[in-house]
């Protein structure tokens, strides 16, 4: 478990003064993960909110080696850097201890970058790929992605009289990463900082690829107050919409179980993107969301051997 006192003494790798939105979950996620790092690192950043707002020329908020990649190839870029490092290490031209990290949003991970990510995981590069999942293409106008929940209103899945927002459930990308049989995969939330930092430490220590899928609430796209970001992340966990677990060398383990599982409407009703679901004749959509959450939660409990 991470010590808050020890973490508070570590230097910030992502500095303040960047131009992420007030209340942005992604910047909190990055700061927590980078606090788990010991030693030098190279970061590859896919195009997206994080990249655009932390590196407005001629400034940068990163205190480490950093590479901007296109939307679709952050995993391939960091794979190439890691391969070059291994070559230089064998030649005795560089010291050991470097870590290689890629950050991408759900657009650049669930969708556009999935092929690149899958290839990097399959090849076995010792990298840590972090998806900051805010549930849409927030940087380019809040378009739906395959991480967008059922019923959410976006600019490309608008809610109307006929269509109640996005028609599909979100893709289970964490399970897709697990299917690659890599050393470490975890799902985390910035609301549970100790859990997230501990998982990041395990990811950095893994002897091979590691994947972290971390919820990153977006006040602009989710339509909640900028002061409510951590509370929204916590509610996602407490309702089991976003359960916290890890898969280490093929062994599934639940890392947090709510004392009393809350109904998913407690999370949905706090977000403007779901406001239309609480109008008349939308009960079926709410029931389907709850059914889907319950089914996935029970399946996860079975996989983890938890009752």
**Would you say the C-alpha torsion 90, 93, 99, 104 has a positive or negative sign?**
negative
Span 68-113, pLDDT tens digits: 999 999 999 999 999 999 999 999 999 889 999 999 999 999 999 9
Span 248-299, pLDDT tens digits: 999 999 999 999 999 999 999 999 999 999 987 899 999 999 999 999 999 9
Q: From the DSSP assignment, how many helices (H) and strands (E) are in the chain?
A: 12, 8
pTM of the model: 0.96
* Whole-Å CA distances, 272 to 21, 36, 109, 151, 190: 17, 34, 25, 12, 21
3-class state of residue 25 by DSSP: helix
Task: Tell which CATH architecture fits domain 4-304.
Answer: 3-Layer(aba) Sandwich (3.40)
Distance CA 94, CA 282 (A): 60
Domain residue spans of the chain: 4-304
Give me the phi and psi of 206, to 5 degrees please.
Answer: -65, 140
Burial class (CB within 10 angstroms; exposed 0-12, middle 13-18, buried 19+) of 175? middle
């Amino acid at each position: 478990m991470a010590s808050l006192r020890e973490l508070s003494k570590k230097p910030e790798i992502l500095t303040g003064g960047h131009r992420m939105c007030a209340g942005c979950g992604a910047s909190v996620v990055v700061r927590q993960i980078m606090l788990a790092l010991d030693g030098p690192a190279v970061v590859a950043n896919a195009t997206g909110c994080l990249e655009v707002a932390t590196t407005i020329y001629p400034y940068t908020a990163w205190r480490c080696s950093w590479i901007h990649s296109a939307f679709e190839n952050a995993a391939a870029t960091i794979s190439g850097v890691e391969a070059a490092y291994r070559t230089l290490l064998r030649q005795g031209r560089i010291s050991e201890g470097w870590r290689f990290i890629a950050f991408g949003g759900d657009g650049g991970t669930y969708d556009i970058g999935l092929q690149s990510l899958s290839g990097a995981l399959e090849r076995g590069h010792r990298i840590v790929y972090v998806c900051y999942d805010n549930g849409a293409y927030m940087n380019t106008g809040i378009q739906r992605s395959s991480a967008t929940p059922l019923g959410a209103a976006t600019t490309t899945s608008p809610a109307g009289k006929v269509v109640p927002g996005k028609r599909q459930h979100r893709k289970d990308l964490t399970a897709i990463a697990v299917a690659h049989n890599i050393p470490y995969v975890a799902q985390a939330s910035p609301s549970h900082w100790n859990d997230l930092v501990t998982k990041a430490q395990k990811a950095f220590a893994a002897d091979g690829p590691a994947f972290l899928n971390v919820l990153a609430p977006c006040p602009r796209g989710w339509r909640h107050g900028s002061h409510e970001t951590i509370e929204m992340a916590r509610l996602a966990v407490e309702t089991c919409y976003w359960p916290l677990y890890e898969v280490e060398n093929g062994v599934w383990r639940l890392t947090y179980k709510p004392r009393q599982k809350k109904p998913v409407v407690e999370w949905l009703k706090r977000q403007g993107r779901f406001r239309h679901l609480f109008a008349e004749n939308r009960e079926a959509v709410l029931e389907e969301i709850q059914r889907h959450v319950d089914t996935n939660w029970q399946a996860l409990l079975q996989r983890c051997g938890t009752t």
